[in-house]
Amino acid sequence: MTIHAPERTSFAVRLDSVSKVYGTGESAVRALDNVSIAMPRGTFTAVMGPSGSGKSTFLHCAAALDRPTSGRVWLGDEERSGKKETALTEFRREHVGFVFQAYNLLGWLTVEENISLPLRLAGRTVDRDLVREVASVVELGVKLDQRPSQLSGGQQQRVALARALVTQPEVVFLDEPTGALDTRTARQVLQMLRQAVKRTGQTTVMVTHDPVAASFADSVVFLADGRLAGSMTAPSPAQIAERMTSLGEW
């Protein structure tokens, strides 16, 4: 079975004047401040910024993991910011994939069972051909009956990415996906991710602090103090590092 990109729409992710405030009164913290951005379908976007710039809050609001205090969020053609939590949970299960720094694999399940877990949680039939296909897309290269403890860190992260792709989601969100990997393994995983994005047309949004990781994306969006602070198209690691220096990161 071939993995097909989701039906085309203009934008996979869109934020319209989104703000997120934690707390009230004098102790209130404005993590996002009137952020508006649209990410075209089939693109790979990296999000960067100094510590406390709002990167994680941006990801959580964009992925419908958290509700904005004001503004609206679209995933695909539908607004998600005003939906009830039950509807959001069902939507995320079917249409959104997540990959985090921690692999979050279940040690008592096989590789195949870890990859197919989102399908089973959604009550969908597990298509073993599809599981093998996503394993091929992420260049896993291990037996599907192995346990996570038998795999290297890079292999475990590939399993996590395959798990995120198996539902053929609208968008895959990655939060520091190579942060726990050594430099060589991180580069291999990023090269694989870049190829997977090209092969499947998968819209991907990655939060990272690493200029090298960000350079694998089509474009890099910068945040500072909860606000958009510019973007770059196909930049080099050196260009990204220079931009981050101007934002006060180094």
| Each residue's pLDDT tens digit, 22-55 | 988 888 889 999 999 999 998 999 999 988 899 9
pTM metric for this prediction: 0.88
Strand partners, 172: 97, 204
Which pLDDT band holds residue 189 (cuts at 50, 70, 90)? confident
Q: Output b/e per residue, 96-120; b: 16+ Cβ within 10 A.
A: bbbbbbebebeeeebbbbbbbbbbe
Question: β-strands 227-233, 219-224: how paired?
Answer: antiparallel
Tell me: the pLDDT tens digits for 61-116? 999 888 999 999 998 887 877 667 777 787 788 788 899 888 889 999 999 999 99
pLDDT for 217 equals 94
CA proximity to 71, closest of 114, 42, 31, 121: 31
- By CB atoms closer than 10 A (0-12, 13-18, 19+), residue 121 is exposed
Domains parsed from the chain with CATH numbers: 11-104+169-246 (3.40.50.300)
Average pLDDT of every residue of the chain: 88
Predicted pLDDT at 9: 54
Q: pLDDT tens across 114-135, in order?
A: 999 998 888 888 888 999 998 9
Q: Is the pLDDT of residue 232 over 80?
A: yes
**CA separation, residue 145 to residues 101, 105, 113, 150 (Å):** 24, 14, 8, 10
Model confidence over 119-178: pLDDT tens digits? Answer: 888 888 888 899 999 898 888 888 999 999 999 999 999 999 999 999 888 899 999 988
Is the pLDDT confidence value at 7 over 70?
no
Q: How far apart are CA 199 and CA 190, in angstroms?
A: 14
Structure confidence at residue 5 (pLDDT): 47
Q: Give DSSP secondary structure letters for 183-222.
A: HHHHHHHHHHHHHHHHHHT-EEEEE-S-HHHHTTSSEEEE
How many residues are given for the chain? 250
**What's the confidence (pLDDT) of residue 72?**
93
Neighbours of 218 (CB within 10 A): 17
Strand intervals (E) in 108-178: 171-175
Query: Contact 199/137 with Cβ under 8 angstroms?
Result: yes
- The more confident residue out of 179 and 242 is 242
